[in-house]
Structures are given as structure tokens and as C-alpha cells.
Amino acid sequence: MSDRIQKVLASAGVASRRHIEQWIAEGRITVNGRPAEIGQKIDHNDRVRVDGKPVRLSRKTEAIRVLLYRKRVGELVTREDPEGRRTVFRKLPELESGRWIAVGRLDINTSGLLLLTNHGELARRLTHPSFEISREYAVRVLGEMTEEIAERLVNGVELDDGLAHFDTLEAGENEDGDGANQWYRVTLREGRNREVRRLFESQGLQVSRLIRVSYGPIELGRGIKTGGCREATPAELKALLKAVGLEEAVTAPEKRRPRRD
């Protein structure tokens, strides 16, 4: 069956519908050798290319899949790096069609939970501010945290790109005893570039380690090796889809190969 190009390519994991519409307007997508049009109908028999590269379209609707990846410091969340540095995409399980999409980004010095999915609309909803999906981080901070600073970080701090704040800020263990390094747990509901680091730096504090420990209802846990991943369980996938109102989009995934670490 044919369907709108935005829906077909988003379901194939090419990108979100919004990005596909933008790419069509920019002339980056062709169908059977001609520039694509927003809303045109396509199916698996059509030859679709994005930036000149062919897109594999499956005859059937692919089940929504989500990977939990434990990113290490030094890895990049990008498909290709001109400097040849390690990327999170290098060893992911192969897909029958489409490609893996990273849900948000973690900078090169941040480790922890990174979600990847083959469904463009799910990726869009998980990162869009309107869905208010909470992210939790463990942060090691160098410097003195006063009550006044903690209140400002929760109430709001004006950054270069607007007002920002943590939803919660809780102190953890002080690994140096009476030393200056202190762990905190923070949560926020948006993913602006380096937002956690910039919030602390705005108060004269230095972040020496940053680990994302949860994204929405998904927790990192201990079952994944650093630089490895596993498939989301049916319960995790259901909770994730429910958080963004995509429950009806669930297609039960087939049993997959053992997780790849």
C-alpha cells in the first residue's frame, strides 16, 4: 500500500516527519529520479534517495525498536567523524530497512544512557519540549554548592539561549570526604546543548563528570557493558510509547538475536 512520503520515511527510520518535510523543501529527497513533493504517495516499489543515497523501503511496516546504549566518554553521537573518532553507530545491530536514529545527543565528554530507535516519529516526540520527557543525570561538581546557588539552579538561571533550570537537584555522596568534589542528581525536561554543564558553570561550579542515568521511564541499570547496547524489553517499549502518546503504534517485535555488547 502507498502512503504519504513523510509517514513512510519516518516509519523507515530516515528522520522525523518534520525533518523530512524540510529536506523535501530543500530538494534533498528524490522519488524515481524526480524531486519529491510533500504529501505525495509512495510505496516499496518507488526508488527513493536522500542526498543521493538510496533508502531501503520494506514491504511491511517494521516493528518499532528501541536500543539502550551505554555511551562512554570519548564517543561521538554522529554517523561519521572527519577525524576518525569513535562513534556510537559503529557496532549497532543491522536493520532490515531504515536506520537507527539517536534520541537527542550526549556530548563527547558525557557518558551514560543513549536511546536509539528505528522510528522517526518516536524520536521526534521523545526530544520535543512539548512532551516534557524528563532526563536524569548524575553529576560530579567541583566547587562549593551553597543554598543560594541551589535555589537559583532550581528557580531559573538566564543563559545565552534563555531561561533554564533543573526540575530537581539532590545532593549525593561526597567522594572526597570533606573535599571539594560532590555528586548530585539532577533532572530536567529539555535537551538544550550542554545545558547541565552550562547551568553549573553559570554559578562558578565546574562539572568533572556527567552521566545520564535515565530518559523518561527508561533507566540505564547495570546490565549493559560500556560501549554496548541491548534491546528494550516489551515493558520498557510500552512505557516509552505511552509517555509520548504512541501506544497505538506498537507492533510486537519479533524475537531478536541476543543483545550485542
Average pLDDT over residues 4-23: 85
Q: Are residues 122 and 239 in the same domain?
A: yes
Pair 139, 172 in one domain:
yes
Examine the domain organization and report whether 119 and 233 are in the same domain: yes
Does residue 82 share a domain with residue 42? Answer: no
CA distances from 166 to 191, 238, 240 (A): 12, 27, 22
Domain-embedded: residue 142? yes
| Residue at grid coordinates 530507535 | 117
Beta strands 53-55 and 101-102 are: unpaired
Would you say 102 and 116 are in contact if contact means Cβ atoms under 8 Å apart? yes
Mean pLDDT, rounded, for 224-250: 90
Mean pLDDT of all residues belonging to the chain: 88
Instruction: Indicate whether 259 belongs to any domain.
Output: no
Co-location of 162 and 111 in the same domain: no
Q: How far apart are CA 213 and CA 119, in angstroms?
A: 22
Structural domain includes residue 60? no
Report DSSP letters for 161-208, one per residue: TEEE--SEEEE---TTTTSSEEEEEEEES---TTHHHHHHHTTT-EEE
Query: Average pLDDT in the 231-254 region?
Result: 82
Instruction: Tell me the pLDDT band of 251, cut-offs 50, 70 and 90.
Output: very low
DSSP character string of 48-102: EEETTEEE---SSPPPP-EEEEEE-TT-BSSS--TT---BTTTTPPP-SSS--EE
Domain that holds residue 221: 66-130+217-249
| Mean pLDDT within 185-201 | 93
- Note whether 174 and 227 are same-domain residues: no
Answer yes or no: are the C-beta atoms of 24 and 5 closer than 8 Å.
yes
Does 120 share its domain with 225?
yes
Do 43 and 104 lie in a common domain? no
pLDDT at 252: 44
Whether 260 maps to a domain, the answer reads: no
> 198-221: per-residue pLDDT in tens?
999 999 999 999 999 999 999 998
Residue 62 reports pLDDT greater than 80? no
Same domain flag for 7 and 104: no
Dist. CA 140–CA 80, nearest whole Å: 30
Q: Is residue 171 part of a domain?
A: yes
Are residues 112 and 225 located together in one domain of the fold? yes
- Same domain (yes/no): 230, 161: no
Give me the active site residues, please: 107
Do residues 174 and 164 share a domain?
yes
- Let me know if residue 204 belongs to a domain: yes
Whole-prediction pTM: 0.77
Q: In angstroms, rounded to a whole number, what is the distance separating the alpha carbons of residues 168 and 158?
A: 17
Total of domains in the chain: 3
Q: 194, 193, 136: which is closest to 168 by C-alpha? A: 136
**What CATH number should be reported for the domain holding residue 84?**
3.30.2350.10
Query: pLDDT band at residue 120, thresholds of 50, 70 and 90?
Result: confident
